[in-house]
Amino acid sequence: MDASVQRSDRVAVYPGSFDPVTNGHLDIIRRAAKVFDKLVVAVLNNTSKNPLFTVEERTELLRKVTADLPNVEIDSFRDLLINYMKQKDAQLIVRGLRAVSDFEYELQLASTNRKLCEDIETFFMTSTPKYSYLSSSIVKEVARFHGPVVDLVPPEVERALRGKYGSRPKA
């Protein structure tokens, strides 16, 4: 167990691919950091996906955009979430819900995780309405065609996206 965490601390894990981290993700991170003693934002290394950013790039971007949050730790994992939770001595999973369509999938995940370990609870946070439409997939699609993502992602992520997709050619 991490020496900076007491056994009575409420440790939560916010797992995801974060490819890339959006303002919607950051909103959930900031709000969850106020609720829990420690929040571990865990980048999933999902081998079934073809991510734009490497795990290392995603964790570094998350570190930059959460640097002002002292109780937030950035990490990555490639195991079952429940196994990772046990490693971190965490009891709560944080999941963001944007729309009703997210709920069915998230409920399946929460139920499966509860079946695997009944001591783990899932904490659902609804997105702030201004980010309810936002996803990493949408951000990548807009950025790929050189559309403006300034209001969708933190500045560090916007720069990283421009680096991946290049700048729009001058007319």
For domain 11-165, give its CATH number from 3.40.50.620, 3.40.309.10, 3.40.50.1370, 3.30.1330.10.
3.40.50.620
Instruction: Establish whether 96 is an annotated binding residue.
Output: yes
In this model, does residue 6 exceed pLDDT 60?
Answer: no
pLDDT single digits (tens) 68-79: 999 999 999 999
CA dist list (Å): 15 to 28, 61, 64, 81, 162:
12, 15, 17, 8, 25
- Structure tokens that stand for 94 in this block: 């944080």
pLDDT single digits (tens) 90-143: 999 999 998 877 888 899 999 999 999 999 999 999 999 999 999 999 999 999
State pTM to two decimals: 0.90
Instruction: Establish whether 92 is an annotated binding residue.
Output: no
* Catalytic annotation, residues: 25, 49, 98, 136
Domain boundaries, the chain: 11-165
What average pLDDT does this structure show over 36-62? 92
| Neighbouring C-beta atoms of residue 39, cutoff 10 Å | 28
Instruction: Establish whether 25 is an annotated binding residue.
Output: yes
Cα separation, 20 vs 11, in Å, equals: 24
Instruction: Establish whether 14 is an annotated binding residue.
Output: no
What average pLDDT does this structure show over 12-34? 97
Q: Which residues pair with 74 in a beta bridge?
A: 41
